[in-house]
């Protein structure tokens, strides 16, 4: 199989409400940034483009069609789209490059969640016959999951607060984060419950923004002469939809994807995990088999800012940046999709 | 460099206005169970699942792969949801094929669907947007002015669309799965039907259907089932913006480039001569002559002559039958319509197309388009690898 490298990444600042900025305006600065990193002039200089977005965030069919306007697709481009987080667009592009039909790919994800009530909107992702009519929102579902975890005795509310505290502290070094600060466990536990046992800090904020990435074969990356990180493994698995049909205190699909991606074939020193709720970071850290020595979410993770449809791709981008900056040699990135961690993607990146 | 991949199983539902007897998952399972049986495999033999459909607002279920994972036997497997507007059925087949062509997987299940009766596509396509002019036209209203421009440019006589409408419904009457069953349809009947978007009359437009189409795509060392495989000889996708200065909306460059790409992969130099048949996305009658030209089956301005000569008609013994299954004009579960084209092309080269089989079909084109005729996906399938 062809060796594939990540060569460029950029994401916008996470902001609660970007105001009168449309999707094209969200995407374009990130595209310009990744072109500049590689020295490309436009999307015409890559072989394939794939994006991730969700129509319901902006309340229009075909949200991604506007995205094409950001590409300068004249002459026409080889282009595809997943109605998923852009981490799955990365997955599609990796397969495309492996077929030999492309040597390079541009990926982007974008979401403007501020116009709607995100947790309620996403309730309509559930089984339309048995669950969606209950308007069971994402925060309520996560609260049920956290309660199961607490009742099992495998975590405490202090453990959850410790995740939030570390996220806020790490985010102080991340200028793109929405929530950052020096706040300890005791102070976090003083907050009222938003939806017991979740406090507001246990839940990722709602953010507007976009992210973009360029990947290529290692040969192409060398021809471009830019620093790169090798993408040595990528896998994604889904599991049962019904929250009653699986063990919510574990993430079996993450374990499967991690094994298939070869996470533990060598030592790791960084992990970026897409955990929109504090207790989910603990579930995922365990499922990924990460020990204490590994820096988890040094960016602050999505608890410090959550770009819907781009956060998964951004986790890969964060690991890439740490490797090319020399802060890490080998890292794992994780993306999730669906209620209570139903669908998970794991990618492994290594220094050149 | 790509590994060989082939279609080894195809399953479709009967297409109907309203399938209130089944859930969304139940609808997909009908097609999936038939595709698995056709391939002689079970869910345990499937390595990954790729689904596609048009906008989520058509059923009101957001990112439905989450809900469908159980019914599609995807638990513990990779799953992907493709969405590229009306071309999605074709794009999904191409993305599924890439799972195998990349050497990553041996056998992939892919399924596309639309249950249009759950919602109203016209409404879903027309929600007002904060930053753009509100267009409450639906697809027919959008394409009608482009068709008028084609008629002006090609100096085409007015009855061409009517001819296509009759031809595809007669083809559809050979296909027991087709939504519209109109074996006795006449040109006069089409002419007398209500004018919806001049020059498109009611009977020159596609129906609104519920339905699903599934395929099993396998690597060369994992061919199964009792029927011959349909080898995937070429795949291509192209996108261009909805609007740009100088854009040719009648014969979009994305369509021409996509065809050039897929023909080069499959060694096609003269599509009318080299193909035995084609399944092309024609949701409104006049798109047959327009795509005949865009896809190089006819010179610019000449497409309508092939239609009037009966070249695209199975009933008239034409040399290059188009849409023998009845096409989109006979069945249109939007998200599945592109995959139905791809699957019907495969059925032809497998010799498995029943009463709408083209005799000795060896090489066929599957085509889909979407958005403002700006997203294209195409594949070439053959009875032989080359």
How many angstroms separate the CA atoms of B146 and B142, rounded?
8
Instruction: State the pLDDT confidence band at B131, using cuts at 50, 70 and 90.
Output: low
Question: Is B374 in contact with A68 (Cβ distance < 8 A)?
Answer: yes
Tell whether A278 and A242 lie within a shared domain: yes
| Residue of B58, B75, B129 lying closest to A240 (CB–CB) | B75
CA atoms within 13 A on the CB side of A85: 24
Tell whether A240 and A134 lie within a shared domain: yes
Domain residue spans in chain B? 5-121+208-222
Q: Nearest CA of chain B to the CA of A263: how many Å?
A: 17
Q: What CATH number should be reported for the domain whose range is B5-121+208-222? A: 3.40.47.10
Tell whether A223 and A91 lie within a shared domain: yes
Q: Nearest CA of chain B to the CA of A181: how many Å?
A: 34
Token pair in block for residue B282: 């024609």
| Residue of A20, A237, A241 lying closest to B67 (CB–CB) | A241
Q: Are A335 and A87 in contact (CB under 8 A)?
A: yes
How many angstroms separate the CA atoms of A214 and A201, rounded?
33
Counting DSSP H helices and E strands in chain A, the numbers are 12, 12
Tell whether A43 and A72 lie within a shared domain: yes
Looking at residue B139, its pLDDT comes to 85
Residues in B closer than 8 angstroms to A122, CB to CB, are 62
DSSP-assigned letters across all residues of A38-70: HT--SGGGSSEEEEE--HHHHTSTTHHHHHHHT
Contacts with A252 (C-beta within 8 Å, 6 or more apart), sequence order: A239, A246, A287, B76
Question: Is A61 in contact with B55 (Cβ distance < 8 A)?
Answer: yes
How many angstroms separate the CA atoms of A118 and A99, rounded?
37
Tell whether A345 and A211 lie within a shared domain: no
In a domain, A10, yes or no: yes
Q: Nearest CA of chain B to the CA of A109: how many Å?
A: 14
Instruction: State the pLDDT confidence band at A23, using cuts at 50, 70 and 90.
Output: confident
Tell whether A286 and A156 lie within a shared domain: yes
Tell whether A312 and A187 lie within a shared domain: yes
Q: Which of A79, A113, A120, A131 is the best substitution to test chain B (most B C-beta atoms within 10 A)?
A: A79
In a domain, A145, yes or no: yes
Instruction: State the pLDDT confidence band at A58, using cuts at 50, 70 and 90.
Output: confident
Question: Is A55 in contact with B69 (Cβ distance < 8 A)?
Answer: no
Question: Which residue does chain A place closest to B253, by CA atoms?
Answer: A76
What tens digit of pLDDT does each residue of A327-352 get?
999 999 999 999 999 999 999 999 99
In a domain, A87, yes or no: yes
Tell whether A48 and A75 lie within a shared domain: yes
Q: Which of B4, B58, B66, B91 is the best substitution to test chain A (most A C-beta atoms within 10 A)?
A: B66
* Angle, CA A210 vertex, CA A72 and CA B104 arms, to 5°: 80
How many angstroms separate the CA atoms of A135 and A237, rounded?
26
| Residue of B77, B237, B253 lying closest to A79 (CB–CB) | B237
Tell whether A154 and A92 lie within a shared domain: no
DSSP-assigned letters across all residues of B197-212: ETTEEGGGB----EEE
Instruction: State the pLDDT confidence band at A63, using cuts at 50, 70 and 90.
Output: confident
In a domain, A122, yes or no: no
Look at residue A59 and tell me whether its pLDDT is greater than 90.
no
Question: Is B239 in contact with A60 (Cβ distance < 8 A)?
Answer: no
Total structural domains within chain A:
2
Question: Is A96 in contact with B60 (Cβ distance < 8 A)?
Answer: no
Look at residue A90 and tell me whether its pLDDT is greater than 90.
yes
Look at residue B17 and tell me whether its pLDDT is greater than 70.
yes
Q: Are A332 and A312 in contact (CB under 8 A)?
A: no
Tell whether A272 and A190 lie within a shared domain: yes
Distances A243 to A138, A160, A351, B70 between C-alpha atoms, Å: 12, 21, 38, 12
Q: Nearest CA of chain B to the CA of A239: how many Å?
A: 4
Looking at residue B136, its pLDDT comes to 65
Q: Nearest CA of chain B to the CA of A42: how many Å?
A: 14
Residues in A closer than 8 angstroms to B127, CB to CB, are 59-61
Looking at residue B1, its pLDDT comes to 60
Q: How large is the average pLDDT for residues B353-360?
A: 98
Residues in B closer than 8 angstroms to A236, CB to CB, are 78-80
Distances B234 to B20, B98, B169 between C-alpha atoms, Å: 38, 11, 29
Question: Is B23 in contact with A129 (Cβ distance < 8 A)?
Answer: yes
Looking at residue B135, its pLDDT comes to 65
In a domain, A307, yes or no: yes
Q: Which of A128, A136, A246, A345 is the best substitution to test chain B (most B C-beta atoms within 10 A)?
A: A128
Q: How large is the average pLDDT for residues A215-221?
A: 98
Token pair in block for residue A259: 């094994």
Residues in B closer than 8 angstroms to A55, CB to CB, are 55-57
Looking at residue A67, its pLDDT comes to 83
CB atoms within 10 A of CB A150: 18
Counting one residue from A and one from B, how many pairs have CB atoms under 8 Å apart?
A: 195
Instruction: State the pLDDT confidence band at A62, using cuts at 50, 70 and 90.
Output: confident
Looking at residue B123, its pLDDT comes to 76
Q: Please give the DSSP secondary-structure letter assigned to residue A166.
A: H
Name the strand (E) or helix (H) holding B192. Answer: helix B187-192
Distances B129 to A17, A57, A204, B122, B242 between C-alpha atoms, Å: 17, 12, 27, 15, 16
Looking at residue B127, its pLDDT comes to 73
Question: Is A22 in contact with B131 (Cβ distance < 8 A)?
Answer: yes
Can you list the positions of beta strands (E) in chain A? Answer: 4-11, 48-52, 79-82, 104-112, 193-195, 198-199, 208-217, 229-238, 270-272, 295-296, 330-337, 343-351
Domain ranges, residue A173: 127-201+231-351
Question: Is B78 in contact with A62 (Cβ distance < 8 A)?
Answer: no
pTM equals 0.98
Q: Nearest CA of chain A to the CA of B42: how many Å?
A: 18
Distances A52 to A30, A133, A344, B84 between C-alpha atoms, Å: 14, 26, 15, 11
In terms of Cα–Cα distance, which of A157, A162, A180, A154 is closest to A283? A154
Tell whether A74 and A163 lie within a shared domain: no
In terms of Cα–Cα distance, which of B323, B73, B101, B50 is closest to B218? B101
Instruction: State the pLDDT confidence band at B119, using cuts at 50, 70 and 90.
Output: confident
Question: Is B62 in contact with A124 (Cβ distance < 8 A)?
Answer: yes
Q: Please give the DSSP secondary-structure letter assigned to residue B31.
A: H
In a domain, A345, yes or no: yes
What tens digit of pLDDT does each residue of A120-156 get?
999 999 999 999 999 999 999 999 999 999 999 999 9
Contacts with A324 (C-beta within 8 Å, 6 or more apart), sequence order: A227, A228, A229, A351
Residue with tokens 């399953």: B11
CATH number at A20 reads: 3.40.47.10
What tens digit of pLDDT does each residue of A39-57 get?
999 999 999 999 999 999 9
Q: How large is the average pLDDT for residues A105-123?
A: 95
Q: How large is the average pLDDT for residues B191-198?
A: 97
In a domain, A249, yes or no: yes
Tell whether A154 and A286 lie within a shared domain: yes
Q: Nearest CA of chain B to the CA of A57: how many Å?
A: 10
How many angstroms separate the CA atoms of B157 and A161, rounded?
74
């Amino acid at each position: 199989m062809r060796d594939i490298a990540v060569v460029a990444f950029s994401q916008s600042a996470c902001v609660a409400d970007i105001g009168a900025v449309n999707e094209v305006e969200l995407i374009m600065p990130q595209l310009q940034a990744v072109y500049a990193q590689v020295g490309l002039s436009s999307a015409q200089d890559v072989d394939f483009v794939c994006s991730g977005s969700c129509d319901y965030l902006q309340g229009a069919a075909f949200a991604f069609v506007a995205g094409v306007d950001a590409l300068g697709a004249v002459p026409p481009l080889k282009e595809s789209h997943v109605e998923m987080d852009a981490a799955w667009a990365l997955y599609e592009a990796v397969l495309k490059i492996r077929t030999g039909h492309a040597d390079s790919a541009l990926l982007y994800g974008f979401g403007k969640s501020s116009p709607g009530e995100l947790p309620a909107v996403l309730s309509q992702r559930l089984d339309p016959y048995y669950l969606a009519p209950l308007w069971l929102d994402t925060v309520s579902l996560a609260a049920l999951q956290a309660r199961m975890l607490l009742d099992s005795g495998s975590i405490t509310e202090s453990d959850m607060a410790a995740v939030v505290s570390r996220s806020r502290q790490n985010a102080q070094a991340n200028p793109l984060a929405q929530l950052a600060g020096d706040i300890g466990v005791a102070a976090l536990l003083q907050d009222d419950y938003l939806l017991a046992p979740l406090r507001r800090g246990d839940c990722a904020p709602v953010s507007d923004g976009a992210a973009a990435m360029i990947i290529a074969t290692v040969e192409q990356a060398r021809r471009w002469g830019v620093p790169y990180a090798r993408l040595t493994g990528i896998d994604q698995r889904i599991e049962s939809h019904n929250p009653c049909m699986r063990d919510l205190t574990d993430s079996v699909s993450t374990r499967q994807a991690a094994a298939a991606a070869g996470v533990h074939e060598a030592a790791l020193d960084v992990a970026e995990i897409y955990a929109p709720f504090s207790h989910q970071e603990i579930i995922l850290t365990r499922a990924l088999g990460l020990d204490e020595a590994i820096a988890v979410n040094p960016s602050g993770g999505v608890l410090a800012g959550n770009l819907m449809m781009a956060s998964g791709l951004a986790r890969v981008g964060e690991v890439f940046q740490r490797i090319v900056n020399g802060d890490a040699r080998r890292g794992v990135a994780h993306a999730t999709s669906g209620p209570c961690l139903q669908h998970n993607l794991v990618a492994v990146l290594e220094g050149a | 460099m790509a590994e060989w991949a082939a279609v080894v199983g195809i399953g479709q539902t009967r297409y109907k206005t309203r399938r209130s007897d089944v859930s969304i998952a139940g609808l997909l399972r009908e097609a999936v169970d038939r595709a698995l049986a056709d391939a002689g495999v079970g869910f345990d033999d499937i390595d990954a699942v790729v689904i596609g459909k048009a906008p989520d607002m058509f059923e009101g279920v957001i990112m439905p792969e989450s809900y469908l994972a159980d019914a599609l036997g995807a638990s513990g497997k990779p799953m992907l949801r493709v969405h590229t507007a009306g071309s999605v059925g074709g794009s999904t087949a191409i993305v599924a094929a890439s799972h195998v062509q990349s050497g990553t997987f041996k056998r992939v299940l892919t399924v596309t669907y639309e249950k249009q009766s759950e919602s109203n596509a016209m409404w879903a396509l027309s929600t007002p947007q904060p930053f753009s002019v509100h267009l409450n036209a639906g697809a027919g209203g959008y394409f009608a002015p482009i068709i008028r421009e084609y008629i002006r440019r090609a100096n085409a006589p007015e009855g061409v669309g009517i001819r296509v409408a009759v031809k595809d419904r007669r083809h559809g009457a050979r296909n027991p799965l087709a939504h519209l069953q109109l074996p006795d349809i006449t040109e006069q009947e089409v002419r007398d039907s209500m004018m919806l978007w001049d020059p498109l009359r009611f009977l020159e437009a596609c129906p609104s259907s519920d339905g699903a189409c599934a395929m099993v795509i396998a690597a060369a060392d994992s061919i199964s089932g009792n029927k011959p495989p349909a080898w995937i000889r070429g795949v291509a996708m192209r996108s261009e913006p909805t609007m740009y200065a100088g854009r040719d909306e009648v014969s979009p460059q994305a369509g021409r480039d996509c065809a050039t790409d897929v023909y080069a992969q499959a060694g096609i130099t003269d599509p009318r001569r080299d193909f035995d048949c084609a399944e092309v996305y024609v949701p409104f009658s006049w798109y047959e002559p327009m795509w005949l030209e865009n896809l190089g089956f006819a010179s610019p301005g000449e497409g309508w002559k092939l239609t009037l000569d009966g070249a695209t008609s199975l009933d008239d013994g034409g040399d290059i039958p188009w849409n023998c299954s009845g096409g989109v004009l006979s069945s249109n579960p939007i998200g599945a319509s592109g995959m139905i084209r791809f699957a019907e092309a495969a059925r032809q080269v497998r010799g498995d197309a029943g009463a709408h089989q083209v005799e000795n079909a060896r090489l066929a084109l599957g085509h889909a388009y979407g958005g403002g005729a700006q997203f294209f996906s195409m594949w070439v399938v053959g009875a032989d690898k080359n």
